[in-house]
A and B are shown apart, each in its own frame.
Chain A
C-alpha cells in the first residue's frame, strides 16, 4: 500500500478537474494504476472518497439514504428536492434497519430515523 485511499481520490479529482478531454481514457489509466499498485481491493473506498471530494469541491455533500426496504422512485425524488442541487445522493437498502430510514451526510453525520435506532436508544436509556 504505497498511497492512501484519500491520496488516490485527490489525484483523480485533480486530473478530472484539470483535463477537459477524454474522461474515459483517464478512468482507464487510473484503474490501470490502481491495479498495478495492488490496491484494487480498495477501489470502492477510493471511488467513494473521490465522489465525496468532488461533491465538496462543487459545494455539495454526499448524502446516503438507507431504507429498510426498497423505496419508491417518487420517495427519493421527493427527498432530493429538499436537498441542495449540488448534493450527491446515494441510496441503499439496509434490511437491518427493520423499518424507517437512516440519513448519513458526508460519512460523518447521521440522522437515524430507523426502528433499529429507536430500539437501541430505548435500551440504552434503560441502562
Chain B
C-alpha cells in the first residue's frame, strides 16, 4: 500500500512541469487589528483576494483600499500569524462563497465554511461559487412586485403588506421584537399554499453567539431550518467578517433568485454592519464623515439592498426579498444610518418601545410603518377585509389621548375608542406563532364586521382562537379552501364565512 503511494507521488513529481515566471508580489509593511498595509502589488484589483505567505502558512486577505503607495487589506484568516515583511501575492480572483441547495439547513461563516459541525457542505467538485460583490439586476431585467410574501403577522399582512422582491426595513429600539418579526416571516414560509417555496437566508451580524444558537434551535424545532441558511458573523468575529456577512448572505440569496426560485434574506442587523465598516475604514485611515462613518456608507447599504429584486420571466422569474433590520437609539429614526436605510428601502415596519411595554406585541406603530410597493401584492381577500383597518386605527389614535376621560365623552367618541381598543387587541399576536393568511382574513373579517363588539377585551384572544379552530374543522370546504386556493373573498365564500361566525357565536353562548 505504502509502496503504491510512494510510486504515485514519484509519478506526480515526474509529470510536474514547472514554469517559473515573473509574477507580481507585495510585502506587508504594517499590520494590526486585522488590517495589513501592503507595498508593491501595483496591479492588484479592488476587492481582489490576496494570499499572505506567513511562517505558519498562507492567510487570505482582501485588497480593500488601493492607494498610491500602499494597499490597505483586510485579513480574513488568523491575523496573529501575519508579520511585517511577509510576502503577498494576488490571485486575480474576487472573494466568493460556495452556493447550492446543500446549504439549506446549515450554519455557515461569511467565507462559506460550515460552523454547525454537520460535516462538509459540498461533495468534491460540487457547488458553484458566487461572488460576494455583484452588480444588482438592471431595470430591464426587473419586474414589478406582485406576489405576496406573507409574514403570518396580522398587523403586517393587513396594513404593511410585503411582496416578493421588496425591501422592507424593520426598525426599532433594542428589545422591541425586531428579530421576532423577521423570524415570523421565516417561519411562515413553511406553508404558504399556492405559491412557490420561499428559501430563507438569515444573516447574523455582531449578534451574541447564544442568541444565534437559540435562533437556530427555534428554526430547527419549527421545521424551518430545512429551507433556511444561517450566515453567522457573531460579535466575537472580526470586523472584517462582520462586514462581509451581509454580502455573503446576498450571494447565497442570489443563487436562489437566479435559479428561478423565491428567496428571503434577513440582515440582522445593518447598524452593526455599519459599525464594522466604520471600524475598518478608520483603521485604514479613510476620512471620517458624519458620526465618524466613511463617506461611502450610503453606497455600502444601497449596493447591498439593490441586489434584492423580482426578476422578469425571461430571467427565470426568481425573487430576492430583503428584510434589513436597524436598531435605533431612544427611538431616534432621524439618525444617520436609519435615515439612509429608510430612504433605500421600499418601506419600514416601525416597532415602538412604548407599545412593547404596554403589552402590544408585535409592537408595530402602524402610523409610522409603511409599505410602498407591497399593496400591489396583497391578496384580494385581505385587501377587501383590511381596507378599513388602517383608517379605524388612525381615528382611534387621534382619540387615544382621551381614553382616560372615557366616561365624560359622547357616545360616538366612546364607541370609536372601544372599537380601536378592540382592534388593537385583535392585532396582538405571540412570537413564533404566525397565522396562515386565510385565518388572518377570518379573524379580521369577524373583528371589522362587528362580530366581536360585544366580546369583553380580555376574552378576545380566546374567541379568536376558538373561531379559527371551529372554521378550520367545520368549514374547510366552503371557507378555508376557497380562500386558500383563490386568495379572494367572493360573495359565496363571504356568505359561508358569515354563517360560520354566526354559528360559532351561538355555540359559544
Contact = CB atoms under 8 A, between A and B. Distances in A.
Q: A and B: real partners?
A: yes
A125 interface: yes
B18 A121 contact: yes
Interface stretch (B20-28, B142-150, B428-436): B20-28
A104 B27 CA distance: 11
Contacts of B25: 104, 107-110
B24 A118 contact: no
Contacts of A45: 29
Interface string B11-46: 011001010111111110100000000011110000
A45 B38 CA distance: 12
Interface in A1-17: 4-6
Contact of B69 (A6, A111, A117, A126): A6
A109 B24 contact: yes
A40 B41 CA distance: 26
Contact of B26 (A108, A111, A117, A125): A108
A33 B27 CA distance: 26
Given A4-B69, A6-B69, A104-B25, A118 B40 contact: no
Chain B, interface residues (CB within 8 Å), range: 10 to 19
A107 B12 CA distance: 33
B18 A110 contact: no
Contacts of B13: 122
Contact of B42 (A6, A104, A108, A118): A108
Contacts of A122: 12-13, 16, 18
A45 B27 CA distance: 11
Given A4-B69, A6-B69, A109 B22 contact: yes
Contacts of B24: 108-110
Nearest to B21: A111
A125 B42 contact: no
A94 B21 CA distance: 20
A11 to B, nearest CB: 14
A108 B29 contact: no
Nearest to A109: B22
Interface string B70-89: 00000000000000000100
A112 B23 CA distance: 9
A27 B23 CA distance: 35
A98 B34 CA distance: 30
A71 to B, nearest CB: 19
A58 B334 CA distance: 57
Given A107-B39, A107-B40, A5 B20 contact: no
Contacts of B29: 5, 45
A117 B20 CA distance: 9
Contact of A108 (B18, B20, B21, B41): B41
A108 B69 contact: no
Contacts, number: 45
B22 A118 contact: no
Nearest to B41: A108
What secondary structure prevails in chain A residues at the interface with B? mixed
Interface residues of A, number: 20
A5 B39 CA distance: 11
A126 B40 CA distance: 28
Contact of B27 (A107, A112, A121): A107
Interface string B277-310: 0000000000000000000000000000000000
A109 B39 CA distance: 11
B92 to A, nearest CB: 14
Contacts of B20: 111-113, 117-118, 121
Contact of B12 (A106, A110, A126): A126
Interface in A77-127: 104-113, 117-118, 121-122, 125-126
Contacts of A108: 24-26, 40-42
A8 to B, nearest CB: 12
Nearest to A111: B22
Contacts of A111: 20-23
A67 B212 CA distance: 51
B183 to A, nearest CB: 39
A57 to B, nearest CB: 16
Contact of B22 (A110, A117, A121, A125): A110
Nearest to A121: B18
A125 B40 contact: no
A113 B20 CA distance: 7
Contacts of B39: 107
Contacts of A118: 18, 20
Most buried by B among A106, A108, A122: A108
A109 B23 CA distance: 5
Contacts of B40: 106-108
A25 to B, nearest CB: 28
A119 to B, nearest CB: 10
Given A4-B69, A6-B69, A107 B26 contact: yes
A124 to B, nearest CB: 9
Nearest to A117: B20
Nearest to A52: B39
B73 to A, nearest CB: 15
A25 B20 CA distance: 46
Contacts of A109: 22-25
Interface of A: 4-6, 45, 104-113, 117-118, 121-122, 125-126
20 contacts: A4-B69, A6-B69, A45-B29, A106-B40, A107-B25, A107-B26, A107-B39, A108-B24, A108-B26, A108-B42, A111-B20, A111-B21, A113-B20, A117-B20, A118-B18, A118-B20, A121-B20, A122-B12, A122-B16, A122-B18
Ranked nearest first, the 6 interchain pairs of A and B with the lowest CB-CB distance are A108-B40, A110-B25, A6-B69, A107-B40, A111-B22, A122-B16
Given A110-B22, A110-B87, A122-B16, 7 more contacts: A107-B26, A110-B23, A110-B25, A111-B22, A117-B20, A122-B18, A125-B16
